[in-house]
Amino acid sequence: MRIMTLVVCAATIAGIAGGAEAQTMRFDDRGFSFKFGGDDRRGDVEGKRASCELYARIASVQSDANIRYRCGFRGPQWTTDMAPHFRWCRWAPRSDLARDQLFRSQQLQDCFNRLGDFDDRR
């Protein structure tokens, strides 16, 4: 019984510690940590980290679509790797994030139009 109590206590402590870490660090399915480095002068500000995590995920999905539908867009903004998007984001103003996402979205829509996308209202 005593061993079982120790196991439950250890699991509870690990869960509490893991829960605190999960709030400041998240991993994608490839093991990339959405956390700023210790040497980053902005530190691990939760709002900026969350914004950059979402930015990087969206950029990766947009880049995947570029490849999947053979749109042919090139350049650093079209990499499927979330890490460079996340690193760029941490220093970029919010307006640049929105502009960059909109740019990729418009480029993809142009590609889809060439593939035969249509508007039901026409």
Residue 45: pLDDT band with limits 50, 70, 90: confident
What whole-number distance in Å separates Cα of residue 63 and Cα of residue 71?
Answer: 10
Residue 33: pLDDT band with limits 50, 70, 90: low
Q: Is the pTM of this model over 0.85?
A: no
What would the pLDDT profile of 68-110 be if each residue is shown by its tens digit? 999 999 999 999 999 999 989 988 998 999 999 999 999 999 9
Q: What are the domain boundaries of the chain?
A: 26-114
Residue 25: pLDDT band with limits 50, 70, 90: very low
Retrieve residue 104's tokens.
């990729």
Let me know how long the chain is. 122
